[in-house]
Amino acid sequence: MDSPVAPVWSEAAGPPDTQADVVVVGSGCAGLSAAIEAARAGLDVMVLERAGLAGGASAMSGGCVYLGGGTPLQEACGFEDTPDDMFAFVMAATGPGADEAKIDLYCRQSVEHFHWLTGCGVPFKASLYTGTFPEPLTDDGLMFTGGENGFPFNEMARPAPRGHVPIAHNKRPMGHTSGVVLMAHLAAAAEAAGARTITETAVQRLVRERDGAVTGVIVRQGGAQRHIRARRGVVLAGGGFIYNEEMLAHHAPHLLGKAKLGTDGDDGRCIRMAQAMGAETLHMEAAEAAFGLPELYLEGLLVNSLGQRFINEDTYFGRIGQAVMFRQGGRAFAIIDDAIHEGLSDIGKFYPAGWVGADAAELAQELGMTPGVLEETVAAYNRHAARGEDPLFHKAARWLRPLEPPLGAIELADRAFVSFTLGGLHTDVDARVVDVDGRPIPGLHAAGRTTSGLPGWGYCSGMSLGDGTFFGRRAGRALAGGPQE
């Protein structure tokens, strides 16, 4: 029986119904960036989007782009950064399995990429966000987004904020965000360059020649099947596979039943179409898992189901999410006191303490923990915090103070985290998809969460948009035959 994603021989596909030099699958940040570069090089570019609106998951995001190495925004906010410092941090934070060649290139060309984004009209305000919410509800343009200023990374490289957030007024999380602003400017730049975006067009299969080259796609459009020829090649930028239960069961069963971040278009079809061509994949088990309310635990404690600390509470919230979901059985507790509870924002108060105890011993009993463990954890923490120290996990002194009874516990269970996949197609630094022997598949490029990009297993907020726009650009330039530095 024929596979629903198997490539079609060009002679079997029949004459093309329409054609372009470059066909881009997906209109998120990676796809539009590829379209902009290819169209600016004079190519005829067609962007295909299965949904009724362009933007994909990128438009749902907070809009943060991970950039550094000394961008004008960093300098205007008084921070020094270098490509070497950025490289040292990103290699440590995105491992294991981080792609050194991609990270090196990204860090060296990050400042140039910032200028490319501003050249597309993306606006940034030269002000630092100092709050604790993961997405600034202000119009501040720069923020720490990966734990750069926390242990152990602050000892590996000079910390610098690298989250570059486009200006957006009257923000609403998951509503009007900087992601909407970013995508509006990329869409306008793509249109101005001459790229065509066609919505409600679902790509079904790749078309290939007998020599193995990809020369088009088969799509379903308006209930009919059509053949679209790509004279130069195809760019796959259709997102990850968090919404494909079968793929999760095969590659990342730990994500089954978990809350998802993305769109229903993140079904892995682009990945599967390329796999059917012999493409290699990497890190298909890897995922980000984020809990978006660090104010619950920054001044408190994070403990596992045994009552033990397992991470510094002031690290990147996505790293905490990964630690809870993938190393602590999906269950942890934020231990807080009255002062923390009273200081919570309205959003934070949606997570009231589910357990309360007159002291740590009573709280442990309420939680069903082994007697003595939580008590010793709190006592040791308080003893050191009174001296402004955290010798076990090195939380910054600004967040250290003894917890005063009564104490409460807020559960951070699987349902509190949202996940998206990090693995995907193996691509080289020019965004060419490679096969299982490491050879580029002619005419086939990919970028964004369809690929295994900068991250291996680790992640920093802004990396998907940075990764997608940067390597989307390189895909567009490669298909245009332009120089690649």
pLDDT truncated to tens, each residue of the chain (485 aa)?
357 999 999 999 999 999 999 999 999 999 999 999 999 999 999 999 999 888 888 988 999 999 999 999 999 999 999 999 999 999 999 988 899 999 999 999 999 999 999 999 999 999 999 988 888 888 999 999 999 999 999 999 999 999 999 999 877 665 678 999 999 999 999 999 999 999 999 999 999 999 999 999 999 998 899 999 999 999 999 999 999 999 999 999 999 988 898 888 999 999 999 999 999 999 999 999 887 677 778 899 999 999 999 999 999 999 999 999 889 988 899 999 999 888 877 666 667 778 999 999 999 999 999 999 999 999 999 999 999 999 999 999 999 999 999 999 998 875 567 899 999 999 999 999 999 999 999 999 999 999 999 988 999 999 999 999 999 999 999 999 866 66
What element of type H or E holds 366? helix 360-367
For domain 1-286+422-485, is the CATH number 3.40.605.10?
Answer: no
What is the spatial distance between Cα 458 and Cα 308, in angstroms, rounded to a whole number? 23
The whole-angstrom distance between residue 126's C-alpha and the CA centroid of its chain comes to 23
What is the spatial distance between Cα 121 and Cα 118, in angstroms, rounded to a whole number? 5
**Percent of residues in the chain assigned helix, strand, coil, to nearest 5:** 35, 20, 45
Contacts with 271 (C-beta within 8 Å, 6 or more apart), sequence order: 236, 240, 241, 247, 281, 424, 425, 450
8 A C-beta contact, residue 300 and residue 403: yes
8 A C-beta contact, residue 69 and residue 108: yes
Sign of CA dihedral 278, 283, 289, 290: negative
The DSSP symbol for 255 reads: G
169: burial class by Cβ within 10 Å (0-12, 13-18, 19+)? exposed
What is the spatial distance between Cα 236 and Cα 214, in angstroms, rounded to a whole number? 11
Beta strands in 141-295 (DSSP E): 142-143, 163-164, 196-198, 201-208, 214-221, 224-236, 259-260, 281-282, 287-290
Give domain limits for the chain.
1-286+422-485, 292-416
3-class DSSP assignment, residue 230? strand
pTM: 0.94
8 A C-beta contact, residue 147 and residue 160: no
The fold of 292-416 is Flavocytochrome C3; Chain A, domain 1 (3.90.700)
First vs last C-alpha separation in the chain: 45
What is the spatial distance between Cα 307 and Cα 364, in angstroms, rounded to a whole number? 8
Q: Which residues pair with 47 in a beta bridge?
A: 24, 197
